[in-house]
Amino acid sequence: MDTNTRPNTISLAGKTALVTGASSGLGERFARVLAGAGARVALAARRTDRLALLQQELEQGGAQACSLGLDVTDVASIAAAVAGAEAKLGPVDILVNNSGVSVTRRVHETTEADYDFVMDTNVRGAFFVAQAVGKTMIARKAGGRIINIASVAGLRALSQVSVYCMSKAAIIHMTRAMALEWGRYDINVNAICPGYIETEINRDHFHSEAGQKLVNMLPRRRVGTPEDLDGLLLLLASDLSDFINGSIITADDGLSVT
């Protein structure tokens, strides 16, 4: 299994997890961690070439995995991906609703295309992915775990990413609404709000002069790594979170309390 995965005592053996946005960044890490805990993992994203490489790596480590093309802005694509995951690996017990995009632009410079790009993926896409998985969980009366990936940006305003902030605030309230309605079906819906996490997409920025200036403004003058979310992810995916429902949990190194 992935040698970079920290040892844990949580077992997800016998569970099937669907991870959206699994081709890179946080999604890729989430998939590795869930596989490391014994889950069968369905990898979903638009970049299927990268998914195939990740699937091969997970399978070489002894995990069961499959790759699925997914465009979360297309409801038909969502339905096909969920059906494909269940056909290949069994009913989905855990959803990590991770797909997301952003545009860096000042409010008065934001275009209609910018707005639609972010909201269609981050809000509309996340809603219909969760709905599709939730329907299957309700139908089979087996419960499940839905983990929505929000952001500290949904809790506080950040400059030049207004639409992204709006989209993640919507995910937070969506999480609460789903938890309220689906708790009776033994479906726990929670959200993780990461702070600044370094991934391949933003690594160059954090090492630039502007990025270092931002880092020096953070509570502990550092950014996180995807590994910093491992424990929280495993908790919410496992039976240990049975009494945690509708929770919005920050993992931001104290940023949200400054």
**Residue 177, domain CATH:** 3.40.50.720
- Quick check: is 57 in a domain? yes
Q: 94: phi > 0 → left, psi -120 to 50 → alpha, else beta; which?
A: beta
- Quick check: is 10 in a domain? no
pLDDT value at position 8? Answer: 57
Phi, psi angles (nearest 5°) of residue 57: -65, -45
Q: Are 219 and 250 in contact (CB under 8 A)?
A: no
- Quick check: is 9 in a domain? no
Catalytic residue among 115, 164, 185, 196: 164
- Quick check: is 1 in a domain? no
Helix (H, G, I), strand (E, B) or coil at 147: strand
DSSP 224: B
- Quick check: is 153 in a domain? yes
Phi, psi angles (nearest 5°) of residue 37: -90, 5
- Quick check: is 235 in a domain? yes
164 is catalytic: yes
Taking the CB of residue 14, how many other CB atoms lie within 10 A of it?
A: 10
Tens of pLDDT, residue by residue, the chain (258 residues): 454 555 557 999 999 999 999 999 999 999 999 999 999 999 999 999 999 999 999 999 999 999 999 999 999 999 999 999 999 999 999 999 999 999 999 999 999 999 999 999 999 999 999 999 999 999 999 999 999 999 999 999 989 999 999 999 999 999 999 999 999 999 999 999 999 888 877 777 778 888 888 878 888 888 889 999 999 999 999 999 999 999 999 999 998 888
Domain count, the chain: 1
pLDDT value at position 3? Answer: 45
Tell me which residue of 23, 18, 31, 50 sits closest to 230, measured CA to CA. Answer: 31
- Quick check: is 79 in a domain? yes
Q: Are 36 and 1 in contact (CB under 8 A)?
A: yes
Domain residues for 189? 16-250
Angle (deg, nearest 10), helices 230-237 and 25-36: 60
Tell me which residue of 101, 99, 121, 103 sits closest to 162, measured CA to CA. Answer: 103
- Quick check: is 170 in a domain? yes
